[in-house]
Amino acid sequence: MTSPQQLPPADDFYLAAHDGIGGRALLSPPVLGVGLAATLLGELLFWRRLQLVPSPAAGSLTGASLPGGFSAGGSGPGGFSAGASLSGGSGPAAAGFLLRVIDSQPTGDPASSAVLRRLVETPGPHEVRQWIRDLSAGFATDVVEHRLTITGVLRRETKRRLLTSNTSLVFTDPRTPGEPAGRIRTKLSYNEPLDTADLMVAGLFLATGLDQLLFDTLNPRDRARLSDQFRRSLPQPLHHLVSAAREAALVTT
């Protein structure tokens, strides 16, 4: 039996941040936006469109790219096949890193391409934390919801009343929002390695406080496994990205 195709990280984060039955968001709009902005930038790292480089004041660390084994397979929005302390990466603080566009070609995916286009069209420098804040102000949520609508995960539902009507986005399958966190918890319980995309998403659960709802049932053993995987397996650029998201989330709360 084959498992369903894994969604892009930002879609997984959006799903996990919502209640499937009522569609209620589990995070405030600003913090949800921070998580989505960071995962979209992470997608562009997977697509090899971006590189993290230290700002002039951050030291002499060379540009940080994802290692060769971590890449996005395929050209569609579901093409990701990326081969509790989040501060295990060495080097300058996240706030000292800039985003550098190393390939301006669209990814073939509407959401990540929209973010890339905005980066290309905006004069730099592109400080990571500032860009997370900028994208979190509605843009990141809009492009992810658009992508989820295209793929049929979300659909528009109109409720008509006597004199008015209201259109909202609802989940086509109310079980879908529970899948990303459930997948991560299951792998931890069986001591299986998380792929890089899931490690990043789990890190952003912690960065935004979503872990208090999604990981509240993890026992100490599984929490230790997650922390160990962060330390051993999360590439340094993603450590910096998660740290920047944590800092941005703190500012919005």
Three-state secondary structure readout of 53-107: EECHHHCCCCCECCCCCCCECCCCCCCECCCCCCCCCCCCCHHHEEEEECCCCCC
In this predicted structure, which of 54-63, 104-113, 157-166, 243-252 has the lowest mean pLDDT? 54-63
Asked whether the beta carbons of 201 and 12 are under 8 A apart, the reply is yes
Strand partners, 93: none
Burial (Cβ within 10 Å: 0-12, 13-18, ≥19) of residue 53: buried
Indicate whether 22 pLDDT > 90: no
Q: What average pLDDT does range 173-187 have in this prediction?
A: 97
Residue 115: the pLDDT is 98
Q: How confident is the model at residue 79 (pLDDT cuts 50, 70, 90)?
A: very low
Q: What average pLDDT does range 229-237 have in this prediction?
A: 96
Indicate whether 75 pLDDT > 80: no
Residue 59: the pLDDT is 54
Q: How confident is the model at residue 159 (pLDDT cuts 50, 70, 90)?
A: confident
β-pairing, 50-54 vs 154-160, is unpaired
Indicate whether 89 pLDDT > 70: no
Say how many C-beta atoms besides its own lie within 10 A of residue 33's C-beta: 27
Residue 69 structure tokens: 């084994």
Give 144-211 as a DSSP string: HHHHHHHTTSEEEEEEE-SS-EEEEEEESSTTGGGHHHHHHHHHHHTTPPPPHHHHHHHHHHHHHTTH
Indicate whether 35 pLDDT > 70: yes
Residue 238: the pLDDT is 97
Indicate whether 73 pLDDT > 50: no
Residue 218: the pLDDT is 96
Q: How confident is the model at residue 174 (pLDDT cuts 50, 70, 90)?
A: very high
Counting Cα atoms < 13 Å in the Cβ hemisphere of 166 gives 4
Q: What average pLDDT does range 231-248 have in this prediction?
A: 96
Higher pLDDT, 167 or 228: 228
Higher pLDDT, 96 or 60: 96
Indicate whether 184 pLDDT > 70: yes
The rounded mean pLDDT for the chain is 86
Residue 186 structure tokens: 């299951």
Separation of alpha carbons 16 and 118, rounded Å: 26
Residue 81: the pLDDT is 40
Residue 91: the pLDDT is 41
Q: What average pLDDT does range 68-91 have in this prediction?
A: 38
Residue 111: the pLDDT is 98
| Model pTM score | 0.86
The counts of H helices and E strands in the chain are: 10, 5
pLDDT in tens, 102-133: 999 999 999 999 999 999 999 988 999 999 99
In this predicted structure, which of 109-113, 154-158, 211-215, 216-220 has the lowest mean pLDDT? 154-158
β-pairing, 126-127 vs 50-54, is unpaired
